[in-house]
Amino acid sequence: MKTAVFSTKPYDRQFLQAACVPPDVHELTFFEPRLTRETAPLAAGFRAVCAFVNDVLDAATIGQLAERGVRLIALRCAGFNNVDLQAAQRHGLCVVRVPAYSPHAVAEHTVGLILALNRKLHKAYARVREGNFSLDGLLGWDLHGQTAGVVGTGRIGCVVARILHGFGLRVLAHDLVPAQELRELGVHYVPLAELLRESDIVTLHCPLVPETHHLINAEAVRQMKPGVMLINTSRGPLIDTQAVIQGLKSGQIGCLGLDVYEEEADLFFEDLSNQVIQDDVFTRLLTFPNVLITAHQAFFTRNALEAIARQTMRNLSCFERGEPFDPQVEVTPQRLRH
């Protein structure tokens, strides 16, 4: 099937082409720009578009795609918060995603941020390279015996909880649907306010939906333990960045690890090292010594890219053959309500 792949990086091309083998052979055309209302005309004559996390699939983009004959939006990611599902339904476009590729990739990166922030590995690395072997300012604490709060215990949150449990942390969790496997491990499900009050580390793994937008706002920051470590590898808008900056300034938040950021679309995945960054909120975050930011790389393992490419090719084939999708794969407006 003729498919326009947007936001293409060399690694996307490499893994998608490698997965484009019988029985899943498709005609892929790679475009570097993000998919937006301005670039949507590039999809003219294609039956499917393949999009990523920062492509803007709002009503205007979807209208343009539909007008040009596109019938399928194949997301090569799990989150679908960047798609106006109502608009897709109105225009008769089917939206599919890759619901699970490697929860381990994201979970391990999450734990990497926790370890690095606690023992200040990012600072230690730079220091030693400069010939500074002093330990002042690098003091951490044993994770063993601390309390971690996992918000959202789906595929990724479950793996995070298991790893942290293995480190000897007491793990609290909050989810609308508790996971039995975690309960059996001894994880306690508690209301969000209690999790925030009790946890030394709070890590976010719920999806971005209207109810979770700015889940961590000024009130939530106030509820947290003074000096808390806050980690977000889920979606940027779960956190009200201004509220968190105030929390960092007051010391209420002891350290912050981010793999995602509210306004990341104009920054992440590009080399902007020769440009002046215009986002003053982001640059303020960069000034804190106790903030560690990675640019949406938690998913970025060989295993995950292989799995994403394989599932994306399967999704294209399934659509082409008119076969029904797995309910986890197809996303509809009804899904938003679950």
**What are the residue numbers of the active site?**
235, 264, 296
Q: Are 262 and 53 in contact (CB under 8 A)?
A: no
Q: How far is the CB of 137 from ligand NAD (least distance, A)?
A: 29
Q: Does 175 bind ligand NAD (CB under 6 A)?
A: yes
Q: Does 235 bind ligand NAD (CB under 6 A)?
A: yes
- The Cα–Cα gap between 87 and 166 comes to 44
Among 156, 169, 231, 318, binds ligand NAD (CB under 6 A): 156
Between 28 and 220, whose beta carbon lies closer to ligand NAD?
Answer: 220
Cβ-based neighbours of 44, under 8 Å, separated by 6 or more:
68, 69
Residue nearest ligand NAD by beta-carbon distance: 154
Amino acid at 93: L
Q: How far is the CB of 338 from ligand NAD (least distance, A)?
A: 8
Task: Report helix, strand and coil shares of the chain as percent, to nearest 5.
Answer: 40, 15, 45
Torsion (CA) 125, 297, 210, 103 in degrees, nearest 10: -110
Site string for ligand NAD, 189-208 (x = CB under 6 A): ----------------xxxx
Q: Are 28 and 72 in contact (CB under 8 A)?
A: no
Site string for ligand NAD, 22-41 (x = CB under 6 A): --------------------
Q: How far is the CB of 11 from ligand NAD (least distance, A)?
A: 14
Q: Does 97 bind ligand NAD (CB under 6 A)?
A: no
Among 34, 120, 174, 314, binds ligand NAD (CB under 6 A): 174
Q: How far is the CB of 78 from ligand NAD (least distance, A)?
A: 5
Q: What 3-state class would DSSP assign to 69?
A: coil
Q: Does 234 bind ligand NAD (CB under 6 A)?
A: yes
Q: Does 259 bind ligand NAD (CB under 6 A)?
A: yes
DSSP classification of residue 9: -
- Pull the structure tokens for residue 281: 């909120």
Residue 171 CB neighbours (<10 A):
25
Q: Does 176 bind ligand NAD (CB under 6 A)?
A: yes
Q: Measuring CA to CA, which residue among 249, 275, 248, 244 is closest to residue 262?
A: 244
Q: What 3-state class would DSSP assign to 258?
A: strand
Q: Does 106 bind ligand NAD (CB under 6 A)?
A: yes
List residues bridging with 51 in a β-sheet. 75
Q: Does 172 bind ligand NAD (CB under 6 A)?
A: no
In this chain, which stretch among 40-48, 151-159, 194-202, 319-327 interacts with ligand NAD, using CB under 6 A? Answer: 151-159
DSSP classification of residue 51: E
Residues of this chain that bind ligand NAD (CB under 6 A): 78-79, 100, 103, 106, 151-157, 174-177, 205-208, 211-212, 233-235, 259-260, 296, 298-299
